[in-house]
Structure 1
Amino acid sequence: MMPTTAPDAHPVAVVTGATGGLGAQICHALAQAGFRVAAGYRSSTGTAQALVEQLPGTGHCALAAPVTDSAALARLADDIESRYGRCDVLVNCAGTTRFVAHDDLDGLDDALIDDVLATNVRGPFAMVRALARLLKCSDLPGGAVVVNISSIAAQTAMGSNVIYCASKAALDNLTKSLARALSPAIRVVSVSPGLVDTEFVKSMDQAWRDEQASRTPLGRLAQPEEIAFAVLAAIRDLRFTTGCVLPVDGGRPLR
């Protein structure tokens, strides 16, 4: 397909889960760095469009990217090719979870397990599968890049529920497998945050937030922009880095 807009040298980044606290910050960082951003969303059309209108630069768009629907992702890939004629970066930020105590085995029902694994593991793979052909043609210095937003829960096995932790461990393993499979044209990296002080986290009990911060050697929670900076570094600066997990956790495993 030919792009519907005039050729543009600015690279293109697709970000799933763009309307969340982390996703929106990542979109802003990429736009500020000169990328044209396709902000992917599941159902929040209005929120995604409002985000796009706030991004610096031009050429951004909001596109439906329901990561559990492979047919919809094939249409997304066609739309990216039609609009831009290229795709240089994919940031898999879409994810889901629900708080269930780790010892509450009955509370972690099959429907939740299937939803978490489909969104957090199958979803990133499906996005890579849909966009791989475009990514392989990127002329971005260092090659195209896939960044999977993981979690320190993959390492510590402490998080919102048992399956969430397992899903992020699987995502890190997927990062390594895909980095091998897609080299040298596409680099694949996990960015692994600790607890991030998003609006959602700020709405939670202050005593719990303080306890979480105290478990980190740096004595605080991560800020959303710090995760975005790590994503941008993986794309722009760490050109000889692939198949690895970049922690942005304040040293949490040290405690």
Structure 2
Amino acid sequence: MATLDERFEKGLEMRGRLAGGQGRIYKGAVPAAYDLAPDMYRISTESLYGSIWSRPGLELRYRAIATLTVAAIQLTTQVRSHIRNALNVGITPEEIIEILMMVAFYGGIPAAYNALAVTKEVLEERGMHVTLPETFDPSLEPKTLYERGVAKHKELISDVFGYHPTEPTPVERALDVLMHEYLWGAVWTRPGLDMKSRIVCALAALVVRGQYDVSVRRMIEGALRFGLTRTEIMEIGMQLAFYVGVLPARAFMHIANTVFRSPEFSQAEPRGL
């Protein structure tokens, strides 16, 4: 087992890597917090960066996507540093914009617009000027957009309407239609972000919003069907424990564990996570 000093050194190395290879990074993204509580900096460097970001079970790319999703939804001032981190680990500006388009539906349009504005500032600091091409086709019939969304949703979840515990009201049905048209038909189908990254983004959004109902279970099931491993899913919960709080993260991990034990998935991967 690594000593605390070894964890701290590993955490400093990870901070430097996320900062773009700038070496040992002291005081982090919030120097004022270090000045007030240096022990907090030491503890977070050891536990978060030295013990979690450095774990092998989930690629750094997906850790950065999950963390950026959470930071954007929380409207945190640290979203700027997480945008920089994402760029520094190889996530492209176009992919960051696509992640934030996902955030608009899972975390709210204000959160997405706030993070997009910060993204523009960060890119301009680096001399980068990015505008995604307009790919949304307004000439589509709503029925076509809806059917496209249902088809995409079914790639993850075969029974896309099975989450209603009771007969839905007309208003709920109308919301379902809109979500299949725009979230699933217009956003999930966009080519600028791969499917696995979108799933990681969606799972992170469900964790940060504290959604402990059937929607979390169904997204975890869809992630497994798509090919994410049990370890990757559990590592998403582990990664976010220090960003959303231990209780929401543990609740997510508990739901994931019950999914792993269900008949469909119980033999999919060896135990021992």
Query: What range describes the TM-score normalised by the shorter chain of this pair?
Result: 0.3 to 0.5
Output the TM-score relative to the length of structure 2. Answer: 0.31
Decide which structure has the larger Cα Rg and report it: 2
Higher helix fraction (1 or 2): 2
Higher strand fraction (1 or 2): 1
Output the TM-score relative to the length of structure 1. Answer: 0.32
